[in-house]
Amino acid sequence: MPNDTYDAIVVGGSFAGLSAAMQLARARRRVLVVDAGRPRNRFSRASHGFLGQDGRSPAAILETARTQVLAYPTAGFRADEATHAEQRGGTFAVALASGVTARARRLVLATGIVDELPDLPGLRERWGTTVLHCPYCHGYEVADGRLGVLAVGEPSVHQALLLPDWSADVTLFTNGTVEPTAAHRDALATRGVRIEPRPLAGLVGDGPALVGVRLRGADGGPDGGEVVALDALFTASRTRMASPLAEQLGCAFDDGPFGPVIRTDARKETTVPGVYAAGDAARAPHNATWASADGVTAGVSAHQSLALP
């Protein structure tokens, strides 16, 4: 890797990061994309609702995108993990796990988030296949099936109210985490959503397929309880930052509905001048289209900050 300073380093090479890099490369700025190879959507078989890419696997979309970005001669890519970032006299130094330090005048954080899943036996191995987080991303593919919502808080009631547009067979499993208000119960009843207050013991089926969820037995144990048949289970995970870079740089955070979000302005610049953020780490809600669009904004804004007084 050259020892001189890049115009920009983009940390994260998924939808947001590559979209940002594309704008900078097309502006003929030297840009380096650093990617650790752990995109959030690696558990999903296909990306849906992404215009022009509907039904393709996330890995295939990213492979095409990397090829297109790297066709520009000023763009570079490094399969590595950014472990530390700091500002040094007007430039940013990014230390990589390989021992190399890269430097740039601007920094785009497209570092993503990590899902912290409910602690329920059988859930983790089905994540992204039959345990799902977003009805807009996956609802059409499980439409007319037996659908459940595993509650993790009040937003789960909102999710349960949406799902009847995909299926007439929807059950909200409160699992001791949320008590629907009277207004919620009326709304759920109007939408035809059943409420199951009994706690869950685990998921049933030959994973990643799902047959149903087992309720806890009469003695409160994991065995002997009734099985509620399901084809797919939706849940809203808690999230955390996948990278410490934003915190190391001193960026401010906001409290999102499921976890912290890097604070940005309309140009996707963080509270640290010269540092931009895009993708799931810097917005709520999340999907591939929003991530890509925010990446475009971050890349254009970073370029304009280099070009304009």
Q: Mean pLDDT of all residues in the chain?
A: 94
Q: Which residues of the chain have pLDDT under 70?
A: 1-3
Which of 179, 212, 235 is the C-terminal boundary of a domain? 235
Residues 22 and 105 in one domain: yes
75-79/31-35 β-pairing: parallel
User: Which domain, by its residues, includes 222?
Assistant: 118-235
State which of 198, 217, 235 marks the end of a domain. 235
Q: What is the DSSP letter of 280?
A: G
Strands 253-255 and 260-262: antiparallel
Domain membership flag for residue 1: no
Taking alpha carbons only, the member of 109, 103, 228, 134 closest to residue 175 is 228
Return the pLDDT at 275.
98
* 262 and 244 together in one domain: yes
How are beta strands 91-96 and 101-109 bridged, if at all? Answer: antiparallel
The count of domains in the chain is 2
Structure tokens at 59: 């890995």
Q: Are residues 207 and 271 in the same domain?
A: no
Examine residue 128 and state whether it is found in any structural domain, yes or no. Answer: yes
pLDDT for 262:
98
Tell me whether residue 251 is in a domain: yes
Same domain for 100 and 130: no
- The verdict on 13 and 108 lying in the same domain is yes
Question: Which CATH number fits the domain that encloses residue 77?
Answer: 3.50.50.60
189 and 86 share one domain: no
Is residue 84 in some structural domain?
yes
Contact between 214 and 227 (Cβ < 8 Å): yes
Do 66 and 101 sit in the same domain of this protein? yes
Region of residue 90 (phi > 0: left; psi between -120 and 50: alpha; otherwise: beta): left
The DSSP result for 165-184, as a single string, is GT-S-EEEE-TTT----HHH
- Residue 196 pLDDT: 97
Specify the pLDDT at position 241.
96
